[in-house]
Amino acid sequence: MATLLHFRDHPYQCQLEAIVTAVDETGVVTDRTLFYPMGGGQPGDTGIFATADGRSLAVTDTRKGEVRDVVHQLAPGHGLQPGDRLTQQLDWSRRWAHMRMHSALHLLSVAVPRGVTGGSIGADRGRLDFDLGELTLDKGELSERLNALVAEDHPITSEWISEAELDARPELVKTMSVTPPRGAGEIRMVRIGGIDYQPCGGTHVASTGEIGVLEVAGIKNRGARNRRIILRFTEPAGGGQP
């Protein structure tokens, strides 16, 4: 039975009641979850499972399991059993940083309209690798361009399209290395106002203004044509409004 991905439509929710559906050596599966499982360059969420008998169990990582389950990793000896009720509590400040950086990297793909060959999201920095060819970039100019896109405060929304629709519009896929997951019939698309529209299963902030001020921390050579562009936040996170 697939885990209901509650975070998809409720990325700002930090607390959720859930029921344990499976337990094995890889971790704990619940009927629904607030915890994003590692994927698409975004790390797995961490937080707490508060049990009905008053214990607080640390969730140290979250991964995709089989049959579209989400597996929460907990230290051995947690004692959870199928049927147990618990309250999931997200490490919100970490997740919010991932949401801001994930949205920032979509803006980077707008500012640098070239094929993306890789990427990674962290709580204080993130990166995309591009097949730039002969294009040269200036760190200061790129930082200015990104901060202008942030300041324009474009709304960020998600929608679903069919796999056939995506196949008919291959230009929507910017990542050359990662293809969107197939088999479910539908593909989740993330739209940033009128400036970006691409397949993405990740969590995003509600509008670009929430990302905050960005800086291009580095542009590194990764082979003849490939460049790694590293972003970081230049001000401490304010905490968001869960």
Q: Which of residues 149 and 200 has its CB atom nearest to Zn ion in the complex?
A: 200
100: Cβ–Cβ under 8 A, 6 or more apart, which residues? 205, 210, 211, 212, 233, 237
Q: Choose the binding region for Zn ion from 7-15, 70-78, 153-161, 194-202 (rule: CB under 5 A).
A: 194-202
Least distance to Zn ion, CB of residue 21, Å = 28
Query: Considering the complex, what minimum distance in angstroms separates the CB of residue 202 from Zn ion?
Result: 4
211-214 contacts, C-beta under 8 A, 24 or more apart: 211/100, 211/101, 211/103, 211/104, 211/107, 211/150, 212/100, 212/150, 212/237, 212/238, 213/147, 213/150, 214/104, 214/143, 214/146, 214/147, 214/150
Question: Least distance from C-beta 161 to Zn ion, angstroms?
Answer: 15
Give least dist CB 186 to Zn ion, A: 16
Residue 44 touching Zn ion (CB under 5 A): no
Q: Judged by CB under 5 A, which stretch of 49-57, 129-137, 150-158, 198-206 contacts Zn ion?
A: 198-206
Element (H, E) at 110: helix 92-111
Residues 199-238 within binding reach of Zn ion (CB under 5 A): 200, 202
Q: Which is nearer to Zn ion, 48 or 176 (CB)?
A: 176
Answer yes or no: are the C-beta atoms of 154 and 208 closer than 8 Å. yes
Closest distance of CB 224 from Zn ion, Å: 27
| Residues at the site binding Zn ion, with contacts judged by CB under 5 A | 200, 202
